[in-house]
Amino acid sequence: MQYSPQSVAPEGQSEAGIAASPQLRHYWHVILERRWLVIASFVSVLALCLVYLYTAPKVYQAVVRLQIDREAESSLNLRDVVVSMSTMDQDYLQTQYKNLLSRSLIEAVIKKEKLTEDSRYNKKLDVAQAVADDITVSPIRLSRLVDVKVEHTSPGKAAAIANRLANEFIDNNQLLRQKRTLDMLFFLRSQASGLERDVQKAEEDIQNYRTQTKFVSFDERMNIIAEALSQSQARYAEAKSRAQSSQAIAAEIERHVAAGKTLDTFPAIAVDPQIKQLQTQVAALENELAGLLQRYKDKHPSVIQVRSRIAEARGAIERAAQQIAVTVRSEAMVAKSQEESLASLVAEWEARQTEWSRAKMQYDVLSRKAETSKALFNLVLGKMKEIEMVQKDKANNIRIVDEASVPVRPAKPNVVLTILLGMFLAVVASIGLALFVNYLDDSIKSQDDVETYLRLPFLGYVPNIKSNSIVERYLNSHLHPQSNAAESFRTVRAAISLGSRGNKLKFVTVTSTIPSEGKSLVASNLAVVIAQTGMRTLLIDADLRRPSVQKAYQLHSPVGLSAYLTEKVNNIDELIHTSEVPNLDVICVGSTPSQPSELIGSRRMIQLLQELGRRYDRIVMDCPPVSAVSDPLVLSALADGVVFVSKFNKVRRDHARKSVQRMQEAGIHICGVLLNDIDFEGRDSYYYSYYYYQNRYYSGYYRTRTTAAPETKKPEAQPETSAKA
């Protein structure tokens, strides 16, 4: 039978909230369970802490405070001259903090303070590292202050080392600054010498180039070639325009003549004053001729004279026009010649201007080179002057704010802190050890273990019966019905009866994983509480190897189960013994046989159980442990159910699970698991105190009934009360 419990959270409450409190309570129970381990661990760790305080040497701490400013903040305030630090102040400060612990600085302190002869360091292989381990650099937040702490067993030596370290650090910083200044000055001087030679060479190159090119000046404002070129270009443009105009007029005259027209009608000629005057004369003579022809004939001397004069005037016009035309052609030729001459002059000046521009480009290159050399040379000279002034400045950016004084009280060990820390570690170690041991402890201790690891129903708890008498232990439910143990057995009886096969459980076997788990005690008391319900009950001691029931019921008869199985006795009535418990009979083992396994599995055993089943309502059989022998498997296979007993905090989960698995593989029905031997009032009270107090609350009922029984004079009252319970 497999059983898997399921927990259901109440409405409105999460599973996490339900589990949180039990989980914390579980840890508290673990600590209480292993309280002696916790106490021993706590005392041990605290004792070690006290031993350390007693044996540890007293260490004194001296503190010197330094102020570290920026390197550029000198009296001359010449920034970026010899500043080799990063632009980030924090980088510079962190570098200085590391330099305080540099090996070279510490070795200088060791040499001057003769620490190799100091008892604290003379046995160290690496004295410098040992001294460095005693030095702590502690920057003060949001400031440029830093505390240098030195520890030593001698207070005076601690102060001396701290002050020596600070002074050496300041001196080294000053020497480093001076060295950087001298190195920079030497570098600048060497650079200045080279740059001076470069400046002289650049100026010589410029002068030589001027002589080579034979140009007077390379200044744009004094460039006569450009000016001459400009004038020539203007004159050339004018001559070209004039030549083009003259040539156009001459060409028009030629076309005018080719068209058969007279030259005096050409507009450029017609406007000539001489032509206009002659044309006026011709017009006047023609008017005079017209007047004469009205009076005279054509051969009249006056008419002939006038006509002659007109012809002379016309000839004069023709000659004047021809002269003007010749003049125009001549001017066109002269203008063309002048144009060509000026074009040649312009080309010459353009060539010279191109040559000048090309020469000026090279000149500009030489000039820029010379100017650059001069600028660098002047810059280096200026820096040299500044560094020479910085070299005379002896200010240091690191100074001592407070010198280390001789400490009065030791810094280590810190008694209060060490004790508090020791107590904290003791608590953590003891609790951790308890939890670790509990983690390693995989024994069955609770209902959760039964339901989680064995996957079986939980029948109940049985408390430890504190009595050395086997009779009182095995008959506790009869002799002390008001006890917690009796109530626990009644709870187990109810759990078995209300189980899945409660109405069919006539034969019940009781077994366990290993010996000494209290299975015989459980079987006896379970038979007692069943008998108290009025059922005819039989208790059979089926442990043929180590019987114990006959001692509890004080049966000394040699006739028992072994005698019947070996056929020495055939009458069953001889085996059955009546106990002092009403409705309860007992069959003991008698003498122990030599072959118990064969007898348990024999046909005679089956016949015996069949016959007893017809006589009794309930039969409880006490069987050997499952892991020890095979008898319980055989008997449990014949029974209707098995009550599995597990002693509290004794059986390992894996061992019990394998025993349960063996029975389940054999098809045996297991009613459930019972946890036995729990000390509710003692060592196990932290687990089951609630269970104990519940039983104490109801135990008053049985005391009342027991007191009332003699008054009513009813001897049957006790069994009846127990049966009702």
In the sheet where 618-622 sits, what is the strand order? Answer: 458-463, 670-678, 641-647, 507-512, 618-622, 537-541, 584-587, 577-578
Write down the pLDDT at residue 80: 44
User: CA-CA distance, 703 to 610, in Å (whole number)?
Assistant: 40
Write down the pLDDT at residue 116: 87
Residue 619's CB is within 10 A of a number of other CB atoms, namely 25
Q: What is the pLDDT of residues 279-338, one digit of tens each?
A: 787 778 778 777 777 777 777 787 778 778 877 777 777 777 777 777 777 777 877 777
Where residue 215 falls (left for φ over 0; alpha for ψ -120 to 50; beta otherwise) is beta
Where residue 214 falls (left for φ over 0; alpha for ψ -120 to 50; beta otherwise) is left
Q: Are 34 and 28 in contact (CB under 8 A)?
A: no
What sign results for the dihedral spanned by CA atoms 602, 603, 604, 607? Answer: positive
Amino acid letter, 5: P
End-to-end CA distance of the chain: 29
User: CA-CA distance, 228 to 518, in Å (whole number)?
Assistant: 138
Q: Are 292 and 303 in contact (CB under 8 A)?
A: yes
Q: Are 507 and 636 in contact (CB under 8 A)?
A: no
Both tokens assigned to 610: 């069949």
Q: What is the mean pLDDT of each run of 10 residues along the chain (725 residues)?
A: 40 45 72 83 89 85 90 48 49 88 91 88 88 92 91 90 92 84 82 81 77 63 65 76 75 74 69 75 76 76 78 76 75 76 76 73 78 84 77 75 90 84 89 82 81 88 87 90 89 87 85 89 93 93 88 82 88 89 91 84 89 92 87 87 89 87 89 86 53 52 48 35 28
Burial 230-255 (b: 16+ CB within 10 A, else e): eebbeebeebbebbeebbebbeebee
* 120: Cα separation from own chain's centroid: 42
Write down the pLDDT at residue 390: 66
User: CA-CA distance, 705 to 712, in Å (whole number)?
Assistant: 10
Host H or E run for residue 47: helix 35-55
Write down the pLDDT at residue 11: 43
Q: What is the pLDDT of residues 689-717, one digit of tens each?
A: 545 445 555 555 545 554 444 443 333 33
Both tokens assigned to 60: 């004194």
User: CA-CA distance, 330 to 318, in Å (whole number)?
Assistant: 18
Both tokens assigned to 310: 């007109």
Write down the pLDDT at residue 103: 92
User: CA-CA distance, 607 to 621, in Å (whole number)?
Assistant: 15
Closest C-alpha to 166, from 232, 121, 113, 225 = 113
Who's near 145: CB < 8 A, 6+ residues apart?
65, 66, 67, 139, 401
Closest C-alpha to 624, from 525, 510, 527, 521 = 510
* 424: Cα separation from own chain's centroid: 29
User: CA-CA distance, 633 to 613, in Å (whole number)?
Assistant: 19
User: CA-CA distance, 176 to 169, in Å (whole number)?
Assistant: 10
In the Cβ-directed half-sphere of 446, how many Cα atoms lie within 13 Å? Answer: 15
Cis before 413? omega within 30: yes
Strands (E), 552-698: 577-578, 584-587, 618-622, 641-647, 670-678
* 232: Cα separation from own chain's centroid: 84
List, in sequence order, the alpha helices (H) in 124-223. 127-133, 155-213
According to DSSP, the residues that pair with 66 across neighbouring strands are: 146, 400
Write down the pLDDT at residue 673: 92
In the Cβ-directed half-sphere of 524, how many Cα atoms lie within 13 Å? Answer: 29
**716 DSSP 8-state letter:** T
User: CA-CA distance, 417 to 413, in Å (whole number)?
Assistant: 9
C-alpha separations of 426 from 36, 46, 421, 439, 523 in Å: 14, 6, 8, 19, 46
**Regarding beta strands 618-622 and 507-512, do their DSSP bridges make them parallel or antiparallel, or are they unpaired?**
parallel
Angle at 705 between CA 703 and CA 711, to 5 degrees: 115
- Angle formed by the axes of helices 685-712 and 15-33, to 10°? 90
User: CA-CA distance, 366 to 389, in Å (whole number)?
Assistant: 35
In the Cβ-directed half-sphere of 532, how many Cα atoms lie within 13 Å? Answer: 28
Strands (E), 271-426: 398-402
Q: What is the CA radius of gyration of the chain?
A: 68
Host H or E run for residue 137: strand 135-139
